[in-house]
Every structure is written in C-alpha cells, then in structure tokens.
Amino acid sequence: MSQSRIILTLNSGSSSIKFALFEEQGEAERLLSGLVEYQSGGAVLTTRTPDGVSKRMVIETGSKTGNAHGEMIRHVLSFVESHEAGRDIGAVGHRVVHGGPHFEGPARINDTTLAQLESLVPLAPLHQPPSIAPMRLLMKEKPNLLQVACFDTSFHHTIPTVRTRLPLPAELLEGGARVYGFHGLSYDYIANELEARFPAIANKRVLVAHIGNGASLCALMHGRSTATTMGLTVLDGLMMGTRCGTIDPGAVLYLLQQKGLSPKEVQDVLYYRSGLLGVSGVSSDMRTLRENDADENVQLALDMFVERFVQQAGGLIAQMGGLDALVFTGGIGQNDATFRQAVCQRLRFLDIQICEDANLASRPVISRRSGGPTVLVVPADEEKTIFRHTRRIMEGCHIS
C-alpha cells in the first residue's frame, strides 16, 4: 500500500519563506514547520517538530544570479523530499495577500490565475511579487504538481458594499479599487476555533484583534466578516510596527508637495519607516520597546498604539451594535499581556473585566465571570487554514 501524500504550505516573503508539512488525510496537525532565510552566499534553514525540537543549518548556494526566491524554494523542496523520503507532495498551498475582486475562496493556480494575480501587484506591490515567484518556479519545474492560492482577502467578501465602496468618483475605481481587508487566513482560523471550542459565542458579536508587526481588527457576526480596519491595501487601519495605518490623505500630499518626496520615497516611508518605529525612533519590535519604555518617544509610541486600537475598535463595535467577545491573536496580541491590559482598561465602559493572573499567563480565557464580554487569547495558525483550503481543492479535483 502506498504511503499517504503530504501537503506543503508556503508563506513567501521578500527575504524568507515559511513552510509547514501536513498529512493529506490528517487532522491539520503539523509534521514539521520551517523557515528558510536567504542571505548573500547562502541560506539559513530552521525547522521545528511538533514536540518542539528545533534544528538550524546553513546551506551553501551555488547560484550567482541573485534569484533569492528560486534558491529558497529549491531549498525547501530539497529538504522536504529528503525529510519525507518516499512520500509524494500531493499539493502546495500558498498564502497570497491580495486576491482582489476575482477570488472569493481558494483557487487552483494556472496561467489564468497567475495573470490575475499579476494584475493585482499595484494594489500590493511589496507583498504580491514574493507570493507569485514560487508559483511560477514550481509551474516550470513541477508542472504536474497541484498548487493552490489561499487569499487573505477572501474572508472579507461578506462585508457589505456600504463598507467596501471608496468615496471617490466611480471612474477612478476601475481596476478593482475598493476596501478588501486582510489577515483573512488568520480570521478564518479564529472563526473555526470559536465554533469548535467556544460555540456559545461563535455566532455572536465578536471583535478579533490580529496584532503583530502588521495589525488589523475584524468584526465577526455569525462567524462571518462584517467589517475590518484594513482597506484597499495593508497600510490602512491600525498603527503597526512600521506602517502608519490610517492617516489624513493630505499628509501624503504634504510629503509629495511640501517635502518633495517621490512616490517611491513616500511608499517607503508609509510601509517601512512609520508606525511604532517611526514614532519611537528606536524599534518596531514590541519587546525592545518594552525594555526602553522610559524613553519619552517610546512611551508615546506605545500610548498611540493603544489609542489607535481603542479608536478603531469603537467604530467596529458600533457597527456590530455591541460586543459579546474580544479575541486577541497575532504575535503581540497573544504574547503581550501589558498591551491586552491597557486595551481592556480603556474598554471597561463595555463591562470588560479581565483576570490579572489569567492575562499574565496568556490563558485562553482572560476575562472574569462577570456577565460582560468574554475576552480570549487564541494563537493564530494561518498554515492550518492554508492546509484546509488546499485539501478542499484537492478533493474537488479528484486527484488520484
């Protein structure tokens, strides 16, 4: 009897590729997770098993072309094939930040799909190309391998038009300019976790806070996205690690017209030099900021981070007509007790009451039994969502 196949998930960034292995017929439990980071002259491969055993190795590269994505995906495939000797990769699932108006769910990757993804590069210039590069390479080198695109935008297609239409002239919106929302793979996972673990609140009014270097909020009603803070691009909404979040559009004109910055320079400022880093002048890493919170600018950055959260959370809660549960996820959301405490303190008018010990320990439920909104900490797992979407496409394709 032949061995079951494995599903490989890829999350490709500009200088790294995160990956994970799952049993095709399994229950979304990882066989292995890993990270390949490309460096000049080589690559660093780090892996972790489900029981926490971690390994790190430096891999020499013979390429002189500077094709980082090509090198990284080859390292991933080489490692997977040696680690899972004798077992076939049944499919590869890719995280794709922007699916535009075309994709309301996962999609099989082919020439048509790739052309549509390429057309969305202007809406996600920093995120879309790294996602597309491994797809093209795999199509060339393994043309019979099923590849599936899983989109961060798809989960938000349930948001009503009154919240997705941009208030600009219609002729300027041609090409797909509208509010999309992102972090959808994370929110999809949280919605499923709520249904499985907290069914009493899964269909109520839930605000999910995905807070990391990138950050957004999503209002869930009956487990579906009804509003979110990110918009046409991942720049909108909350203040983030290096991104500005919502700002007066006149500030962009100011940078262009008064400061003389080029569009490329403005893009660099908004994506890479703003947010926690820009205000603090120290770091975008919350852990570093906590260590330096005596610095006046660092404290201002931390205060603004909470202030922007509360401001935008209030808007989404109003859109839902109230709040039954608040869920923290993402690197900061699930690990920074001080941030959670500060946010919940500011939202105490909603009768949110958290248990200090539970919060410090990052327990699944950190709220008191007060009758007010339930407050949860649920670690994000986008790879599991990619695995589930990919397997669904595999089953639909009836692959032998």
Look at strands 42-48 and 325-329 and give their pairing. Answer: unpaired
Residue recorded with tokens 């900490």: 377
Catalytic site positions: 152
Distance CA 313, CA 207 (A): 8
* Residue 120 neighbours by CB distance under 10 Å: 25
Whether 377 and 93 have beta carbons less than 8 Å apart is answered as no
What pTM was computed for the model?
A: 0.93
Distance CA 248, CA 354 (A): 34
Backbone torsion region of residue 381, taken as left when φ is above 0, otherwise alpha when ψ lies between -120 and 50, otherwise beta: beta
Give the pLDDT confidence score for residue 400 in this predicted structure.
32
Give the pLDDT confidence score for residue 73 in this predicted structure.
83
| Token pair in block for residue 334 | 């699930």
Give the pLDDT confidence score for residue 125 in this predicted structure.
86
The response to whether 211 counts as a known ligand-binding position is yes
| Token pair in block for residue 74 | 């080859």
The response to whether 287 counts as a known ligand-binding position is yes
Distance CA 92, CA 146 (A): 6
Q: What are phi and psi of 218, to 5 degrees?
A: -140, 130
CA angle 190, 191, 194 (to 5 degrees): 85
10-residue averages of pLDDT along the chain (400 residues): 80 87 85 83 82 81 56 82 80 96 94 94 88 93 96 98 97 93 98 97 98 97 98 96 97 98 97 97 98 98 98 98 98 98 97 97 94 95 96 73
Backbone torsion region of residue 279, taken as left when φ is above 0, otherwise alpha when ψ lies between -120 and 50, otherwise beta: alpha
Q: What are phi and psi of 338, to 5 degrees?
A: -65, -40
Q: Please state the separation of Cα 147 from the chain's center in Å.
A: 20
* Residue 214 neighbours by CB distance under 10 Å: 24
Helix %, strand %, coil % for the chain, to 5?
A: 40, 20, 35
Secondary structure (3-state) at 238: coil
The response to whether 110 counts as a known ligand-binding position is no
* DSSP secondary structure string for all residues of 219-287: EEETTEEEEES--SSTTSSS--SS---S--HHHHHHHHHTS---HHHHHHHHHHSSHHHHHHSS-S-HH
The response to whether 90 counts as a known ligand-binding position is no
